[in-house]
Amino acid sequence: MTSQLPFLRERVALVTGGGSGIGRACAIALAEAGADVHVVDIAEEPAVSVAARVGGRAHVVDLADPASIERLPAAVDILVNSAGLQHVAPIPEFPAERFTLIQQVMVTAPFLLLRHVLPHMYAGGWGRVVNISSAHGLRASAYKSAYVAAKHGLEGLSKVAAVEGAPYGVTSNCICPGYVRTPLVEAQIEQQAAAHGIDPADVLSRVLLTRSAVKRLIEPEEVAAAAVWLCGPNTGYLTGTSLPLDGGWTAT
Ligand SMILES: NC(=O)c1ccc[n+]([C@@H]2O[C@H](COP(=O)([O-])OP(=O)(O)OC[C@H]3O[C@@H](n4cnc5c(N)ncnc54)[C@H](O)[C@@H]3O)[C@@H](O)[C@H]2O)c1
């Protein structure tokens, strides 16, 4: 149980998107559980400041660039794939290069990172892969073609990693949050308002929270607590799953 802190002492974690939002919360929570944390982000200042806070190392890289992934540490026991971005537009107006970038950062980079770190996990007989998917890995919403496609791709990748990793003590799971209070959500309020033709002030109640039974945003720390739990004791049999943290959205 997570009450036995610091149970991740001597484990090394790499968290993508660790400079902000869910990735930042995961970096902090994993460090509090005892892990050495590598904070990976394209944004330098937040990555450096989170790394300083957790006593870890910052790596400023663009995950859309495969060569940059090769330069990241490979001796990693816990991989948290959290880096992501959003674009909201109807399919006929969706910029093709934006679609491609979202697949690169949110599907191809997690694949390349798995290729990079799994040999170390296999050699040590233990590993935890936590993929920050989304309710949109399980359900679709209008105007999010790239994001929904990427998250469904990540769900499939996670399951394959679970099947291949099982003989080596490596689990792979997805966490599927509803709307989390992070800059990614704050940044899409204007885009959502334009796409739906409504006032930005009404986006939360009329778009984002309509399908959630719990009528609030979830906090990044609540997602991070689930990530740490997936890395804790007694979770070795839990693999290939998707954990909805969606306030009941996918129950309806
Ligand atoms: N916020 C939500 O409501 C929500 C809900 C479900 C799932 N998610 C998922 O959680 C993850 C984190 O989202 P968040 O809400 O914390 O967003 P965020 O914008 O707060 O953080 C995302 C981080 O990813 C980094 N990043 C983006 N592109 C990158 C690149 N090319 N290379 C390296 N780093 C890059 C950003 O710099 C940022 O620090 C994403 O995968 C997102 O899809 C978010």
Q: Do the domain assignments include residue 207?
A: no
Looking at the structure of the chain, the number of domains it has is: 1
Nearest in space to 62 (alpha carbons), one of 117, 100, 96, 16: 16
Residues 116, 135 contacting (CB under 8 angstroms): no
CATH code at position 174: 3.40.50.720
Q: Do the domain assignments include residue 223?
A: yes
Q: Do the domain assignments include residue 139?
A: yes
Interval between CA 157 and ligand 1 midpoint (Å): 18
For position 4, what pLDDT does the model report? 57
Residue 106 CA: which ligand 1 atom is closest?
A: 41
Structure tokens that stand for 155 in this block: 């769900």
Residue 184 CA: which ligand 1 atom is closest?
A: 19
Global pTM reads 0.96
Q: How far is CA 162 from the centre of its chain?
A: 16
Structure tokens that stand for 195 in this block: 């796409």
Residue 167 region by backbone torsions, left for phi larger than 0, else alpha for psi between -120 and 50, else beta: alpha
Residue 107 region by backbone torsions, left for phi larger than 0, else alpha for psi between -120 and 50, else beta: alpha
C-beta 134 within 6 A of ligand 1: yes
Q: Do the domain assignments include residue 235?
A: yes
Interval between CA 123 and ligand 1 midpoint (Å): 30
Residue 65 CA: which ligand 1 atom is closest?
A: 31
The three-class DSSP label of residue 124 is helix
C-beta 17 within 6 A of ligand 1: yes
For position 191, what pLDDT does the model report? 86
The reply to whether omega before 220 is within 30° of 0 (cis) is no
Interval between CA 226 and ligand 1 midpoint (Å): 17
C-beta 63 within 6 A of ligand 1: yes
C-beta 179 within 6 A of ligand 1: yes
- Tokens 């209008």 correspond to 142
Nearest in space to 175 (alpha carbons), one of 151, 204, 148: 151
pLDDT tens series, the chain, 252 aa? 445 579 999 999 999 999 999 999 999 999 999 999 999 999 999 999 999 999 999 999 999 999 999 999 999 999 999 999 999 999 999 999 999 999 999 999 999 999 999 999 999 999 999 999 999 999 999 999 999 999 999 999 999 999 999 999 999 999 999 999 998 888 888 888 988 999 988 999 999 999 999 999 999 999 999 999 999 999 999 999 999 999 999 999
Interval between CA 85 and ligand 1 midpoint (Å): 5
Q: Do the domain assignments include residue 161?
A: yes
Q: Annotate 165-215 with DSSP letters as a single string.
A: HGGGTEEEEEEEESSBSSHHHHHTHHHHHHHHTS-GGGHIIIIITSS-SS-
C-beta 64 within 6 A of ligand 1: yes
Helices (H), the chain: 21-32, 44-54, 66-70, 96-103, 109-124, 145-165, 183-187, 189-196, 203, 220-230
C-beta 105 within 6 A of ligand 1: yes
Domain of residue 74: give its range.
Answer: 12-180+218-242
Taking residue 139's Cβ as centre, other Cβ atoms within 10 Å add up to 18
- What sign has the CA pseudo-torsion 215, 146, 241, 1? negative
Q: Do the domain assignments include residue 228?
A: yes
* Residues with a known catalytic role: 147
